[in-house]
Each structure stands twice: as structure tokens, then as C-alpha cells.
A and B are shown apart, each in its own frame.
Chain A
Amino acid sequence: MTTVDVPPPVEVARTASTSPSSRGRGASSRQRRTAWLMVAPAGLHALYWIALPVLATFVLSMTNYSVLAPLRFVGLGNFVKSFEDPIFRTSIWHTVVYTFFTVPVSMALAVFLAVLLNQQIRARAWYRAAVFLPQVTATVAVATVWYQIYDPYSGLANKLLSFLGITGPAWLADPSYALSAVIVMGVWQGIGIKMIIYLAALQNLPDELFEAAELDGANAWQRFRRITLPMLRPATLFVGVVSIISAFQAFDQVYVLTRGGPANATTMMTYEVYKNAFATFQMGMACAKSVVLFVFLFGLTLLNRKLTGGDEDE
């Protein structure tokens, strides 16, 4: 820590005299300028690559913008057309079904695993790593593995079923099984991150509560039901919001496993946005569908807040 540049003595004196109580109050104008310079690159990047695109999504959703035709304002036309399109309506339904099955199921499994892992047992770091592994690996890579697992002839799924004397279907090629197959992979991959967050929350709970409950004769299930779960409410709110947002945006696995098929049996809102924007180049329509997706997410986040009553706990 050698001196680099010596600031004017007045400023040294002022900083020194105010520092114990100031906590950033009374920053000099030079410091304020430096602060702005420090925030500027990240701030401008976010404005240009996040704020501007979001704004553009909403504006473009009301135009017929495509690479081919001149730009024209069409009001809510894209939204009307979207909802008249049976494939988009199906994709909304699939997205909701996918979210409905993946989020609560993996959350329940995750909280259960977290409670088991929050005990002093040998090899817990290894168990934790195993559960978290699917989350660390790229979705494209794990989806490719599941693509092979679901292969009717050489795949693991039907091999396991054959032990039970069941001849498994062609999972991804059969419209009545394809969505379930995508959901199973979603549950498997989604447990890890939820478990980690629950585990962290569990470790912040005070031991005294559990000791008192145990003295009062509460058994393990009662302690879980009456103490652990209520105390985990903020974590549940957080996990719920994050999981819903990511489930609604599932894309990679659909792209790898089914390309939305067979016969649109697994297409999701994200895949419809992708098709509109990058296969048929209807950018305006794609933006309108993104806005629909956004409205869903916004509504679900608010609903989740209300249901778990999370606000006051945070």
C-alpha cells in the first residue's frame, strides 16, 4: 500500500474527519464522478442489451415487423392472431402442464432431500454433488443423453421396463408419451438447484426450536410439518418463483428431444417464439408471443407471492 497519487490536503482532512460516522455521506464531487464512471460500463451495457430489447419487444409486438415486409403498426392484431392459432393455444397448454408437473414435484422431492441431507451423516457432500450434477451440466448435453435413454431399441428406459415385463413405447415419437418424457427429464434436472436453496435455508434455522419441540414430544413428522415447513416459507417463495420462471422458458430440452413434435405434441411457448422469429422471420408475431409469455410469468409471480404470503418474511 504505497502512496500513488496524493489528493489535495483539504480533502484528506475532510474524509478523515467525517469517516467514522459518514458511511458514504459527504462523498466529494470527485468521488461521485468516480462512482458514476465505475457504474457506467455495466449500466450502459444493461440499458443497451436488456432495457432497450425489453422495450422493443413490447413495441414490435404491435407491428408486423419481419425481415421481408415494410414495418406497419397493427395494434393488437398479433395477439388476436396468436390466440386464434390452435398450435399456439396448444403450446400454452403444454407450457402450463410442463410447469405444473415439474415445479411442485421437484420442489417436494427437493425439500425432502434437503431435510435428509441436513443431518450429520457420512458422505453427505457426495450425495449432494450427485443430486446437483444434472443442474451443472448443460441442458443440451443431458437432453442428448435422455434422447438416447428414450430410444425404444437401444435406450435405458425400455431396458429397465423390460425387467418388469413391460414393452415400452417409442417415447419421443409417440404423441401420447412425448410430453411426459420431457417432463420426467425436467423433474430430474430441476431437483438440484431447489435442494441447494432449501438446504441453505435449513441451515439458517435455529436449533432451539427443534430442541424445544422434541422435548415437548413432537415426532419427526410433526416437527417437519409444524416447524420446518412453515419456517421454510421464504425459501419456498423464492424457489417457486425461480422455478416457474425457468420452467416456463424451457427450450433447450424441447429443441434436442422433440423439436416440438411429434405433431406439435410437445411444443411450448418458447418454441413457438423461436419458430416465428427464426424459421418464418415474423419478428412482430414472435414478440407478441413473448409478451404473452411475459404476462403469464408476471401473473404467476404475483400469485405465488400471494399464496405463500412471502412479502413480510423477506
Chain B
Amino acid sequence: MSERAAGSRNRLTPRLRVATHLLLALTALAMVAPFIWMALTSFKTDRDIATFPPTWLPSSWRLANYTDALSVAPFGIYFRNSLIISVGHVVINLVLASLAGFALARYRFRGREAVFLGFIAMLMIPTYTKIVPQFLIAKTMPLFGGNDWLGSGGSGWVNTWWGLIIPGAVTPFAVFLFRQFYLSIPRELEDAARIDGLGEWSIWARIASPLIKPAFVTAGLLTFQESFNNFLWPLLITTDDNKRVVQLGLTVLKESGEGFTTQWNLLMAGTAMASLPMIVLFLLTQRYFVQGLATTGIK
């Protein structure tokens, strides 16, 4: 989305301008307030937490909440796991989805329309229409995790990197996004490269793809976000701390305090650590996020 602001709609009178700012500032505050509250609470001392009514600011800023949270739950391992999975998803998705998108945009082969419609149909399938069998397929993966060749007897891909990474590795959404972008660039360069004797794979890798770098950035960011924030699939497919991801670790931290008094300061410190990577990434790359979500949504 361009930063263009519409021309004629902008002749705001000073009073309207102030009103607009006021409304937007109030809304922005309401949207950000929970995050500020999270940050403030994450620095409070145990005594601040026990004070009623709660104070806005910590009486003294206790940074040790963060290291304490790290000792209650192994966030280091959670982060490592989240990163391995998210980066794995991004790499696999960018390569395989862009290849498929390129083929669908550029070659006329029998069944192309059907394949494309198939991707569109699968794009619209709700998570809950596939999640239970996905788990069963992973669990009965033949010859893995003690399974025999019929897929019974063991745990298959449950609690393995395979199970965490492969099932969600390629998204029909990315295939669709790439196809649209490849369609939008001129063909002449590719034809010229063909005449120069470049093979089709090289044309994809060296001619066409460099022209749609923004698509790669957008698809990469959206894939990373979806993967890093995903909760349901890791919840189903993991059974121990060594494979757990950040979002799952957060619920472990939350439940570790339940039944007793919840250590809100530690929980909020953990939450801050779990959300910070995505927030920073978003603030740095806002333009691509917004562009990706908006253009693919409308067109």
C-alpha cells in the first residue's frame, strides 16, 4: 500500500484535524495499553503484585523477573525450537511455493487450471476441517518413531522435528501470492534469457525471482509470523519440553503458577519475551506486512 493520502479528502479544517488526531490517539492508546500494562507488570516486585488496588508503576524496577522467568521455564529451548521451525517454514515455503507459483503463471500445461483451482480451494479450507486427520497422519507415519510399515505400533512423527515442520511447511496462500506476482512482471526478459540458452530452472532462479523480491519478503514475513505465533499444532504434536515452542511454553509458565498465587510479574516477563520478537520484526518491516495483507486481500 502506498503512503499516498487521498488528495481532495484532505482539506481538513483545523478543528476537524484536531478531532481526528484526538480520536486516533485515543484508539491507539486503547490498542497499546495492554502491552504497556504487560511491560509495567513485568518489572513489578512481588510486593507490588500483592498490593491492592494495583499501582501503575513498579515501586522499584525489578529486572530479575526476566531471569527468574527463564529459570521457571526453559525459554531458551523454547526460543531455539520456535526459531528452527519458523525459519524452516520460511525457507521451504519460499522455495516450493515460488516454484509452483512460477509454473502456474508461466507455462501452459494440461491441467494447469485445475491445479490452480485446487490450490485456491485448499486455501479456503478451515483449520478445523483438517486438524484431526493431520494429527492421525503424523502419528501413523510409517517407519517413523517405532511405527511398522503400516504405521502402527509407535508414535510416528509425534514429538519430532518432522512432525513440527513438514505438515505446515507449504501454504497454498504463498503459492497464490507468488503466482500473482509472477504474472505481473513482463515476459520479455525471460524470453531473451531463453534465447541466450538459459534453462527454465535458471530463469526462475536468476531472472524472474529477483524481479519480485518484495513478494519474497512479504511471503517470508507472513510465513514467519504464522509459524512463530502458531499454538494449536505444536500443542497437539509435542509431548515434552525439548520440542516445545515459545507460545506453548507460555501456557506452561502460566499453568505452573495456577492453584497457588500466580506470579504475575514473572508471567508478564515471559509474555513480553514471547511477543517481543514479532513486535520488533513488525515495526522494522511494517510496509511489507501491510502491503502483503492488503494487496492479496483485495486483488
Contact = CB atoms under 8 A, between A and B. Distances in A.
Contacts of A105: none
B126 interface: yes
Contacts of A245: 126
A8 B37 CA distance: 68
Interface in A36-92: 36, 38-39, 41-43, 45-46, 48-54, 56-57, 60
B134 A197 contact: no
A144 B31 contact: no
A179 interface: no
Nearest to B134: A53
Nearest to B99: A38
B28 to A, nearest CB: 4
A277 B139 CA distance: 13
A24 B20 contact: no
A123 B41 CA distance: 28
Nearest to A12: B195
Interface in B114-151: 115, 118-119, 122, 125-137
B274 A35 contact: no
B54 interface: yes
B15 interface: no
Interface in A18-40: 19, 23-25, 27, 31-32, 34-36, 38-39
B129 A197 contact: no
Interface residues of A, number: 119
Interface stretch (B58-66, B69-77, B104-112): B104-112
A151 B262 contact: yes
Query: Is the interface on chain B under 10, 10 to 19, 20 to 34, or 35 or more residues?
Result: 35 or more
Interface in B26-53: 27-35, 37-38, 41, 49-50, 52-53
Given A130-B32, A134-B31, A144-B271, A3 B196 contact: yes
B290 A145 contact: no
Contacts of B32: 130, 133
A7 B197 CA distance: 6
Interface string B1-34: 1111111111010000100110111011111111
Interface stretch (A154-162, A170-178, A302-310): A154-162
Nearest to B292: A196
B1 A137 contact: no
B7 to A, nearest CB: 5
A42 B169 CA distance: 9
B201 A136 contact: no
Contacts of A202: 6
A193 interface: yes
Contacts of B100: 38-39, 41-43
- The SS class assigned to the A binding surface is helix
A100 interface: no
A121 B20 contact: yes
A138 interface: yes
A10 to B, nearest CB: 13
Given A42-B170, A193-B293, A149 B99 contact: no
A181 to B, nearest CB: 13
Contacts of A32: 107-110
B124 to A, nearest CB: 8
Interface string B237-272: 000000000111011001000000010100110110
Given A149-B34, A297-B126, A137 B229 contact: yes
A40 to B, nearest CB: 8
B212 interface: no
Given A142-B34, A144-B271, A293 B53 contact: no
Contact of B34 (A45, A156, A238, A277): A156
Contacts of B202: 4
Interface string A97-121: 0000000000000000100111111
Interface of B: 1-10, 12, 17, 20-21, 23-25, 27-35, 37-38, 41, 49-50, 52-54, 96-97, 99-100, 102-104, 106-110, 112, 115, 118-119, 122, 125-137, 166-170, 172, 175, 187, 191, 193-202, 204, 206-207, 225, 228-229, 231-232, 235-236, 246-248, 250-251, 254, 262, 264, 267-268, 270-271, 274-275, 278-279, 282-283, 286, 289-290, 293-295, 297-298
17 contacts: A1-B206, A4-B199, A7-B197, A12-B194, A16-B191, A36-B103, A38-B204, A49-B137, A53-B134, A54-B125, A120-B10, A121-B21, A136-B282, A136-B289, A141-B229, A148-B37, A196-B290
